Amino acid sequence: MRALLFGHCGRCRVPPFARGRNPGPPGALSRRRLLGGTLALGLLGGAAARADEPLPVTEVAPGVFVFHGAHEEATAANLGGIANLGFVVGSDAVAVIDTGGSAAEGRRLLAAVRQRTALPVRWAIDTHFHPDHALGNAAFAGPDTTLVGHANLPRGLAARADTYLAGLRRDLGDAAAGTEILAPTLLVRDRLSLDLGGRTLELKAWPAAHTDADLTVLDTATGTLFAGDLVFLERVPAIDGSLRGWVDAIAGLRRETGIRRVVPGHGPASARWPDALDDEERYLALILTETRAALAAGRSLDQAVATVARSERGRWLLFDDYNDRNVATAYTELEWE
Single-letter amino acid, residue 188 = V
Single-letter amino acid, residue 224 = T
Q: Does 221 bind another protein (CB under 8 A)?
A: no
Q: Does 141 bind another protein (CB under 8 A)?
A: no
Q: Does 53 bind another protein (CB under 8 A)?
A: no
Of 255, 256, 207, 214, whose CA–CA distance to 232 is shortest?
214
Kindly report the number of other CB atoms within 10 A of residue 175's CB atom: 25
Residue 289 has phi, psi (to 5 degrees) of -65, -50
- Select 172 or 304, whichever has its Cβ closest to another protein: 304
Q: Does 242 bind another protein (CB under 8 A)?
A: yes
Nearest distance from C-beta of residue 16 to another protein, angstroms: 7
Nearest distance from C-beta of residue 81 to another protein, angstroms: 24
Q: Does 101 bind another protein (CB under 8 A)?
A: no
From the list 69-77, 93-101, 161-169, 250-258, the region that binds another protein by CB under 8 A is 161-169
**Near another protein by CB under 8 A: residue from 126, 171, 219, 240:** 240
Per-residue x/- track, 162-191, another protein (CB under 8 A)? xx-----------------x----------
Cβ atoms of 10 and 167 within 8 Å: the answer is yes
Q: Does 336 bind another protein (CB under 8 A)?
A: yes
Three-class DSSP category at 59: strand
d(CA 170, CA 240): 22
Question: Which stretches does DSSP call E strand in 23-68?
Answer: 58-61, 64-67
Kindly report the number of other CB atoms within 10 A of residue 273's CB atom: 19
For 228-261, give one letter per residue: b (16+ CB within 10 A) or e.
bbbbbbbbbbbbbbbbbbbbebbebbeeeeebeb
Nearest distance from C-beta of residue 33 to another protein, angstroms: 26
Kindly compute the dihedral angle of the four CA atoms of residues 170, 176, 182, 188, in this order, to the nearest 10 degrees.
-80
Task: Give bridge partners of residue 272 from the DSSP assignment.
Answer: 261
DSSP secondary structure of 107-163: HHHHHHHHHH--S-EEEEE-SSS-HHHHTTGGGG-BTTBEEEEETTHHHHHHHHHHH
Nearest distance from C-beta of residue 162 to another protein, angstroms: 5
Nearest distance from C-beta of residue 310 to another protein, angstroms: 14
Q: Does 98 bind another protein (CB under 8 A)?
A: no
Q: Does 320 bind another protein (CB under 8 A)?
A: no
**Near another protein by CB under 8 A: residue from 212, 219, 229, 281:** 212
From the list 136-144, 160-168, 261-269, 308-316, the region that binds another protein by CB under 8 A is 160-168
Eight-class DSSP state of 337: -
What are the C-alpha distances in Å from 24 to residues 12, 18, 279? 20, 13, 19
Three-class DSSP category at 14: coil
Single-letter amino acid, residue 190 = D
Q: Does 328 bind another protein (CB under 8 A)?
A: yes
Q: 323: exposed, middle or buried (C-beta count within 10 Å: 0-12, 13-18, 19+)?
A: buried
From the list 11-19, 98-106, 196-204, 310-318, the region that binds another protein by CB under 8 A is 11-19
Query: How many binding residues for another protein (CB under 8 A)?
Result: 40
Nearest distance from C-beta of residue 114 to another protein, angstroms: 32
From the list 5-13, 47-55, 81-89, 106-114, the region that binds another protein by CB under 8 A is 5-13
Q: Does 208 bind another protein (CB under 8 A)?
A: yes
Q: Does 332 bind another protein (CB under 8 A)?
A: yes
Q: Does 247 bind another protein (CB under 8 A)?
A: no
> Which residues are at the interface with another protein (CB under 8 A)?
8-16, 154-156, 158-163, 181, 208, 211-212, 240-242, 245, 295, 298, 300-302, 305, 324-325, 327-329, 332, 335-336
